[in-house]
Amino acid sequence: MVECRSVTKTYHSGRGTLQALRGISLAIAPGTAAAIAGKSGSGKTTLLNCMGGLDWPDSGQVFVNGIDLHTLPQRGLSLFLRRDMGFVFQFGNLLSYLTVFENIAFPLKLNNIPKLELERRTQELLERIGLAGAGPALAHELSGGEVQRVAVARALAHRPKLLLADEPTASLDSATGTSLVRLMFELGRESGCTMVLSTHDSEVMDLADQRLHIRDGMLQEHPGQ
C-alpha cells in the first residue's frame, strides 16, 4: 500500500543544512495501522509529508497503491489526495469559518458525494465521534480533544485508502490522546483504511499494528515489534 524507497530530503536555511531524511525505505501493508515514533526534529513530519504528497523528496520514490506520487502532475496529485488520502495534523486542523458539520462534509463535497448521502454519512460520523449535537458549532467553540475528533472524522469521511496523522495527540492529555487514536483506528479499520501516525506517546505506539522508530532521518524497526 505505502512504499518508500531510499527517500532523502534536505532543508537549507539560514541555520545551515539539515538532512531530514537519509535514505528511508519502508513498506506498510494495506489495512495496517502503523505508528512512527521519534524525537522532535527526527524527520517524522517530513516523512509523513512525503508519503502524503504534501512535500517532495530530493531523491527516492514514494508509492501509494502502486502510484509514484511525485510523478503525478499538480492537478493529478490534488485529485489523488481528495479521493484517496486523509490527513490529521497536530493542530489547526479545522477550517475556522466552517461549522463542524461543514468541516466533515467538505471532503465529501469535493468528491461530489450526493447531498443525501453526504448528510447521512456526516451525521453518522458525528454520532460515532460523540459530537452528534455539535454539528452547527464552529471550531473555536470546541475543546482540543473535540477538534481532533472532528479532524479524524473529516479525514475518514470520504473513505480514503490512506490516512496520515502527524502527532494528532500532541496537544492532548494522555488519556484523551489514547482514546482519540483508538477511535481513529476503529473507524479506519472499519473502512479498510491504511493508517500511519507519528507520535511520542508509548501508549499510542502500543495500539499500532506496525511500529517504526526514526532517528536523525533514518528508520529503525522498533525492537519490541
Scored b (16 or more CB within 10 A) or e, 29-49 reads eeebbbbbbbeeebbbbbbbb
* Residue 26 Cβ vs another protein, minimum distance, rounded to whole Å: 19
Cell numbers placing 73: 502532475
Q: Which stretch binds another protein (CB under 8 A): 14-22, 102-110, 124-132, 209-217?
A: 102-110
* Rounded Cα gap, residues 17 and 27, in angstroms: 28
Backbone angles phi, psi at 109, to 5 degrees: -60, -45
The number of residues that bind another protein (CB under 8 A) is 30
* Residue 31 Cβ vs another protein, minimum distance, rounded to whole Å: 22
Interface pattern 69-88 for another protein (x via CB under 8 A)? -----xx--xxxxxx-x-x-
Interface pattern 149-188 for another protein (x via CB under 8 A)? ----------------------------------------
Q: Which residues pair with 59 in a beta bridge?
A: 8
Q: Which residues have C-beta within 8 Å of that of residue 161, sequence separation ≥ 6?
A: 1, 30, 64, 65, 84, 85, 193, 194
> Is 97 a binder of another protein (CB under 8 A)?
yes
SS3 13: strand
Interface pattern 107-126 for another protein (x via CB under 8 A)? x-xx-x--------------
Please report, as ranges, the residues that interact with another protein according to CB under 8 A: 49, 52, 54-56, 74-75, 78-83, 85, 87, 89, 92-98, 102, 106-107, 109-110, 112, 138
